[in-house]
Structure 1
Amino acid sequence: MDSSFPHLVVDLRELNESYFMESSSCDIVSLAMSLLSIIIAFIGLAENVIVLWLLGFHMHRNAFSVYILNLAGANFLFLCPYIVFSLVTITVNFHSINSHIILFLNTVFTLAYLAGMSMITAISVEYWLSVIWSNWYHGRRPKHTSAFICTLLWAVSLLLSLPHEIICGQLYHIYNWDMCWKCKLIIVVWLLIEFVVLSQSNQAMMFRIFCGSQQTPMTRLFVTIVLTALVVLICGFPFGIYIYFLYWTTDVYFIMPCNSFQETILLLSAVNSCANPIICLLVGSIKHCQFQCGTLRLILQRAIQDTPEEEGEEVEEDVEDEESTTL
């Protein structure tokens, strides 16, 4: 009898045990990342509700607060189906949900994502225009431009999301793959255009403020926009490229250990949707390079303040006076 046979059995047993331990550890990592994404999503949901409540009912709106209000609304709508899908993925199978409900949630999911990317791009471009053509912007800009642009961006996002979800979802068996691929390609091109515009406008703003011949004072609103744009560029756009372009490419799953590429992208998207309120909280809490407390309304007012810090103190005093009179 071949004496190597027992050694072969032992080797196979050790290989199976190691594979089982590796797969178990990968399952634990995947579950932990999914739970972390859900926790962050719930936190972001509460944060965006607070921003919607303050900007919608308790603060005077300006050109940029309208964009932030719509951005908070888009993040809120994005996180609602995000949480539903995440919980369903962990607990039960998607086939247990009605197809019409899935179509509705997917449409809201894509609509909110595209609208959020569009809002931060629009606010970045508008701030850049306000710095470049300051006289025209403050003197001749139409009053309801921000509301009109936000409405237009919501409409464009709906026109991109609804056909995509109908053709690639409900009617996938009727239409061929080529039709679905064209819808995805249009969305990817739109996202790439926004990526280029957002990155270039932020570079132009920072060059104008830090390196330009005409020194432009840095405001809290500038810091808020730049930080939010950086988070969107790092955490927001990769999610769209993955969902609408790389989802069917199996090679991307092997980039990271335990095939956790998808969980990482989903985690980044949750971080992106709750980042703006946190950035507003941090920027609004810093005064003269020190953290200072205050009401959420005052902190948010500071974060979207488009005047230098010394001039903005008068605005803060007015806000505090209004709060004291209401109390």
Structure 2
Amino acid sequence: MDPTEPREHTGPRGDLQEDEAFSLVVLSLTEALGLAGLLGNGALLWLLGSTVYRNPCAIYLLDTACADLIFLGCHMVAIVPDLLPGQSGIPGFVQASLAALRFFCYLVRLALLAAVSAEQCAAALPGARCPCRRPRHLATALCALSWALCLLLHLLLSGACSQPFGAPGRAPCRAAWLAAAALVAALSAAVCVASLLLLLRAERGPQRAPPGAFPRLVLLSALLFLFGDLPFGIYWLARSLRWRAPRRFHALSLLAAGLDRAAKPVVCFCLGRARGRGLRQPLALVLRRALGEDAEPGAGSETPRRGLVEETA
């Protein structure tokens, strides 16, 4: 090798430049995914809000889309200072407020996913033969309870980590974030266990009948959570508790959270799309299929509406 040939930057400064370039690319992709997620979840909200659905699945989907829409709006603005360091001009209190609201929506979405996964799992048990016997307003009550409990935790975090308690190193703030970490761990375990039982029930049932569109949506949502939302939750809790995280994990966790929420509407519409009919299908009809309402317009006979879980036996 020629000694006069310039060497590559392998020192700390070269690593810093590589990290900055990596973060710039990943955060730019995150902004693009956030815009796509805003459009997709906005379409879901518009379709669900313009039509009154009696199916309880629509209530979960409506609340989830609302939480995702608020999350993505905060997410896209909150990462601007990381994307343009020193040039964003966003005040510090605005950044803190957006970060707190984003984590609140994260908790709400996780609680909703845990609730619907547990309900699907309970309805798929061998003894649950009639999903229509479920309480009429159970979905509405669970969604309202999820929002209320997450709001309570959000107020607890805001109160414990503000003046006069101060920084996250203080005891009240640290205890509040440890409680949030315990809640995230419990809800994540509930999602994983309920989805695994639902999958085993579908695969090892008496007739091994494939699950309906909405149970498949729940299973895919749990899978997206494991690879998308869970890394973001781990990063945010580690950041709040002042724990060390691997290098580049910050940007990757932000990208994973945006990817999860951008993929959810796409998965929903793909599950409701009828085979062999291409893409030229009414979105409202596609959404009805995804919610388990399989009746086709103009069909000679009515297809009975199904409950939360289609019978596997």
The answer for the alignment partner of 2:305 in structure 1 is: none
Quick one: which of 260, 277, 296 aligns to 1:316? 296
Q: Does 1:91 align with 2:78?
A: no
Q: Does 1:138 align with 2:138?
A: no
Change in Cα spacing, 1:134 to 1:174, as seen in structure 2 (3 Å) is closer
- CA RMSD, aligned part only? 2.8
Task: Using the TM superposition, give the Cα deviation of residue 167 of structure 1 relative to its aligned residue in structure 2, in angstroms.
Answer: 2.6
Which amino acid in the other structure matches residue 276 of structure 1? K
CA distance, structure 2, for counterparts of residue 171 and residue 96 of structure 1: 27
- Give a deviation string over 1:190-246, Cα, whole Å, max 9, x none: 111111111111111111111023645521112111111110122112211221135
- Give a deviation string over 1:145-202, Cα, whole Å, max 9, x none: 1111101100111111222134335555388622111111111111111111111111
The answer for the alignment partner of 1:249 in structure 2 is: 243
The answer for the alignment partner of 2:256 in structure 1 is: 268
The answer for the alignment partner of 1:299 in structure 2 is: 286
How many matched pairs?
295
Quick one: which of 86, 94, 98 aligns to 1:101? 94
Q: Which has the higher helix share?
A: 1
- 1:132-211 maps to which residues of 2 (within 5 A)? 132=125, 133-139=127-133, 141-169=134-162, 171-173=164-166, 177-211=170-204
Which amino acid in the other structure matches residue 253 of structure 2? I
Change in Cα spacing, 1:216 to 1:125, as seen in structure 2 (3 Å) is farther
Identity rate of aligned residues, in percent? 23
- Give a deviation string over 1:57-99, Cα, whole Å, max 9, x none: 1352411110011000111111111111112332355995445
Which amino acid in the other structure matches residue 281 of structure 2? G
CA distance, structure 2, for counterparts of residue 95 and residue 170 of structure 1: 26
The answer for the alignment partner of 1:282 in structure 2 is: 270
Q: Does 1:45 align with 2:38?
A: yes
Change in Cα spacing, 1:181 to 1:304, as seen in structure 2 (3 Å) is same
Q: TM-score, normalised by structure 1?
A: 0.80
- 1:58-69 maps to which residues of 2 (within 5 A)? 58-69=51-62
Which amino acid in the other structure matches residue 291 of structure 2? I
Q: Does 1:228 align with 2:197?
A: no
Task: Using the TM superposition, give the Cα deviation of residue 137 of structure 1 relative to its aligned residue in structure 2, in angstroms.
Answer: 3.1
- Give a deviation string over 1:235-283, Cα, whole Å, max 9, x none: 1122112211355223x23xxxxx3111011110111222210111221
Change in Cα spacing, 1:208 to 1:171, as seen in structure 2 (3 Å) is same
Task: Using the TM superposition, give the Cα deviation of residue 134 of structure 1 relative to its aligned residue in structure 2, in angstroms.
Answer: 3.4
- Answer whether contact 1:302 1:316 (CA < 8 A) is retained: no
Q: TM-score, normalised by structure 2?
A: 0.84
The answer for the alignment partner of 1:27 in structure 2 is: 20
CA distance, structure 2, for counterparts of residue 111 and residue 84 of structure 1: 16
Which amino acid in the other structure matches residue 101 of structure 2? V
Greater Rg over alpha carbons, structure: 1
- Answer whether contact 1:129 1:137 (CA < 8 A) is retained: no
Which amino acid in the other structure matches residue 56 of structure 1? G
SS for the counterpart of 2:280 is coil
- Answer whether contact 1:55 1:61 (CA < 8 A) is retained: no
- Answer whether contact 1:45 1:76 (CA < 8 A) is retained: yes
- 1:109-128 maps to which residues of 2 (within 5 A)? 109-128=102-121
SS for the counterpart of 1:108 is helix
- Give a deviation string over 1:30-50, Cα, whole Å, max 9, x none: 101011111101110111111
Which amino acid in the other structure matches residue 248 of structure 2? S
- Answer whether contact 2:55 2:291 (CA < 8 A) is retained: no
Q: Structure 1 stretches of 5 or more lacking a match?
A: 1-6, 254-258, 307-311, 320-327
